[in-house]
Amino acid sequence: MEILIFIIIYAAFFYGIFKLAKSKNREPTGWMLASIIISPIIIIIILAIMQALPGKNKRITKRKKSIKK
């Protein structure tokens, strides 16, 4: 039973790291691997302090051309 709780908590940390890295335009898999090696809490703190990278996660919006008669 304790193993199941440990796995659920670790999965929650992974999900948080994934979403935080995505929001900062960072590579989520690299940060998740780093959290295995170091500590998920330390990685979350590091990601929270870092600034977002420009570019990757911007959405492109297309404007509809108005038809003039």
Range of 25's domain?
A: 12-49
Indicate whether 18 belongs to any domain.
Answer: yes
pLDDT tens, position by position, 5-17: 999 999 999 999 9
Indicate whether 19 belongs to any domain.
Answer: yes
pTM of the model: 0.72
pLDDT tens, position by position, 35-52: 999 999 999 999 999 998
| DSSP letter assigned to residue 62 | P
How many independent structural domains does the chain possess? 1
pLDDT at 54: 87
Indicate whether 35 belongs to any domain.
Answer: yes
Answer yes or no: is pLDDT of 69 > 70. Answer: no
Indicate whether 60 belongs to any domain.
Answer: no
What are the CA-CA distances from residue 66 to residues 16, 60, 62, 63, 69 (Å)? 42, 19, 12, 9, 10
Indicate whether 45 belongs to any domain.
Answer: yes
